[in-house]
Amino acid sequence: MPGLTCNACNKEFQDDSEQKLHYKSEWHRYNLKRKVAGVPGVTEALFLARQSALAEERNKLSETPMLYSCGLCSKGYRSSKAHAQHLESRSHIMRASQGVSHEADGNTIIKPLSRRAANNKLPVQRVVDNEESEESGDEWEEVDPEEDLVAEATKSLTDLNVNELASNDDMDDNDDDD
């Protein structure tokens, strides 16, 4: 009697026990949530593919995190991509071109990151901030803190407001001529 179907998953069943078993499955629950949200359900094959992709992602996250360090610049990174970008950065290339006294100093050091350090976000942010400040240091302009920038800005805004008022008065005069 193939008259039993699941409207959320578009699946047909041979008997009611098979249908009841299906109603308890994760795939059916997933499709019910999608149906409530107004999104069409997915096939079982697509659902299983998504589940396996999520499981792989969870496994990657549960692996021991690694610390990638540059022996030449004494900088550490938590991902191989960030480390590779550092190796291509201007500051690293400049240091490498200046010559290395010890051959081992230029090597990449990869070691497991301790769990305590993996949960602490500040050291990596400091490393990135230091790199940014070194690379863009020539773009910064030194400002004397004694300069009276506030007074200059206030004067500039006041002049702007006075000019605006004067131009508005001129417009009012033109309106009277009509």
pTM reported for the whole predicted model: 0.40
Q: How far apart are CA 106 and CA 100, in angstroms?
A: 7
CB 77 within 8 A of CB 127: yes
pLDDT, tens digit, 9 for 90 and up, residues 39-85: 999 999 999 999 999 999 888 777 778 888 888 888 888 888 999 99
Sign for the pseudo-dihedral over CA of 32, 37, 38, 40: negative
- Reported as a single tens digit per residue, the pLDDT across 73-119 is 888 888 889 999 998 999 888 888 887 555 545 678 888 877 655 55
